[in-house]
């Protein structure tokens, strides 16, 4: 399979992976936000997604942090309604 070489396609992949993480781990994410341990409780899933992302995207796009931004947008910002010491 050819590597993704455009920033827009890489962003779409990052958001799709992050969206799947959010969809299949809602309770775990809410717990992590409530306890301010999100990155700890989701470490394995986030790393699996990162590994997939890195295997599909051209190396020159990896430094743009598109995956990390998608994680913040879809796992953290989308759960702003959850009570948390983070906010």
DSSP 14-40: HHHHHHHHHHHTHHHHHHHHHTT-HHH
pLDDT tier for residue 86 given thresholds of 50, 70 and 90: low
Res. 78: pLDDT tops 90? no
Res. 83: pLDDT tops 90? no
Joined tokens for residue 64: 């743009």
Res. 55: pLDDT tops 90? yes
Task: Let me know if 81 is exposed, middle or buried by CB neighbors in 10 A (0-12, 13-18, 19+).
Answer: exposed
Q: How confident is the prediction for the chain on average, in pLDDT? A: 93
CB atoms within 10 A of CB 62: 14
Q: So what's the pLDDT on residue 77?
A: 83
């Amino acid at each position: 399979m050819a590597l993704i070489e455009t920033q827009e396609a890489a962003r779409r992949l990052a958001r799709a992976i992050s969206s799947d993480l959010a969809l299949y781990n809602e309770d775990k994410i809410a717990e992590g936000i409530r306890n301010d341990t999100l990155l700890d409780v989701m470490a394995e899933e986030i790393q699996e997604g990162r590994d997939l992302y890195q295997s599909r995207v051209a190396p020159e796009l990896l430094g743009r942090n598109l995956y990390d931004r998608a994680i913040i947008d879809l796992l953290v910002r989308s759960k702003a309604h959850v009570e948390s010491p983070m906010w």
